[in-house]
């Protein structure tokens, strides 16, 4: 299955699909003002999360806080980022997105956070009848309740001036739009998580925080290799979701507040949809097709 040849998965207005990064979203050209700002990301030491960290570091962000369970990958990520981007301070914490007290402790000790990116996920790809209740609960604990908890704690932080709205970028999956053998827990939990992000956006009308769900693309990560059969997808560049996330945190993307977008969609074609999106609150959300 080659997802890039399935145009029914995205709006007809999006004609250009980027499997590699491109000038318009490069951190050096984006309108995101990184000066003095802090990014906190879960699962940021490897794969898609690490690419996102790299892109924000290239944009000149002042501080990156990475949360991940494995100490070894955290140490390697910190060393690599510190060497390549000495002007960005990197902090790491060994923690799971499902450890709610630990998440609360880290978030509230971090001080100001400008960009929050929940990237951690849990997947158990088995026939539905073979998934244990514990496995299903674990997927929802990480993918749904864990997401809700860290966003809620982020919103509870004291307001500080940061030069524009803050951002929550939930790293989701196009699986939230699909069903396939073995995907009942993963697909349904990702759809629920997207709904939570849309509701956060709906319930924060003052505009101090913008909320987005992001499909990163068909990226060859450890999790993908373990769960995606060989030949099912055409793998795409991990730099695309990293660079797109920086663009999404900037002022050009504010009209996408509460929406679910794909990193590979051309940003100028998205911007051309601004009026249509303003007139149709359900577009680019998890809803029934009209």
In DSSP terms, 214 is beta-bridged to 171, 261
**199 to 123, 124, 145, 188, 205: CA distances (angstroms):** 24, 26, 14, 17, 11
Query: What gap in Å lies between CA 117 and CA 131, rounded to an integer?
Result: 28
Reported as half-sphere exposure (CB side, CA atoms, 13 A), residue 207 has a value of 6
Choosing from 98, 186, 188, 239, the catalytic residue is 186
Catalytic residue among 96, 98, 172, 184: 172
Q: 256: helix, coil or strand?
A: helix
Contact 108, 157 (CB under 8 A): yes
Give the distance between the most distant pair of CA atoms in the chain. Answer: 51
User: What is the enclosing helix (H) or strand (E) of 210?
Assistant: strand 209-215
In the set 58, 166, 190, 239, the catalytic residue is: 190
Pair of tokens at residue 173: 């999956």
CB under 8 A, 24+ apart: contacts of 132-139: 135/185, 136/185, 138/98, 139/185, 139/186, 139/189
**Can 212 be counted among the known catalytic residues?**
no
CB 106 within 8 A of CB 93: yes
Gap between the Cα atoms of 31 and 255, Å rounded: 14
Annotated active-site residue 172? The verdict is yes
Q: Which residues are catalytic?
A: 172, 186, 190
């Amino acid at each position: 299955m080659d997802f890039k040849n399935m145009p029914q998965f995205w709006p007809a207005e999006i004609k250009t699909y980027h499997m590699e990064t491109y000038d318009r979203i490069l951190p050096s050209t984006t309108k995101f003002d990184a000066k003095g700002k802090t990014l906190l990301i879960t699962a940021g030491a490897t794969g898609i999360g690490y690419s996102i960290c790299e892109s924000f570091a290239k944009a000149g962000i002042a501080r990156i806080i990475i949360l991940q369970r494995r100490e070894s990958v955290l140490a390697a990520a910190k060393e690599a980022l510190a060497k390549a981007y000495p002007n960005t301070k990197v902090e790491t914490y060994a923690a799971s997105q499902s450890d709610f007290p630990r998440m609360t402790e880290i978030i509230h000790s971090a001080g100001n956070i400008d960009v929050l990116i929940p990237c951690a996920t849990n997947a158990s790809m088995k026939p539905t009848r073979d998934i244990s209740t514990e496995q299903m609960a674990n997927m929802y604990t990480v993918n749904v309740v864990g997401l809700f908890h860290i966003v809620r704690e982020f919103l509870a932080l004291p307001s500080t001036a940061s030069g524009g709205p803050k951002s929550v970028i939930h790293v989701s999956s196009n699986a939230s739009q699909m069903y396939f053998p073995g995907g009942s827990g993963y697909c349904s939990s990702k759809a629920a998580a997207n709904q939570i992000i849309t509701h956060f956006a709906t319930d924060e009308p003052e505009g101090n925080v913008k909320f987005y769900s992001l499909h990163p693309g068909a990226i060859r990560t450890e999790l993908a290799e373990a769960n995606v059969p060989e030949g099912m997808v055409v793998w795409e560049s991990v730099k695309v979701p990293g660079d797109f996330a920086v663009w999404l945190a900037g002022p050009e993307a504010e009209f996408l507040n509460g929406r679910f977008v794909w990193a590979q969609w051309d940003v100028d074609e998205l911007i051309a949809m601004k009026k249509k999106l303003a007139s149709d609150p359900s577009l680019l959300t998890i809803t029934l097709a009209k």
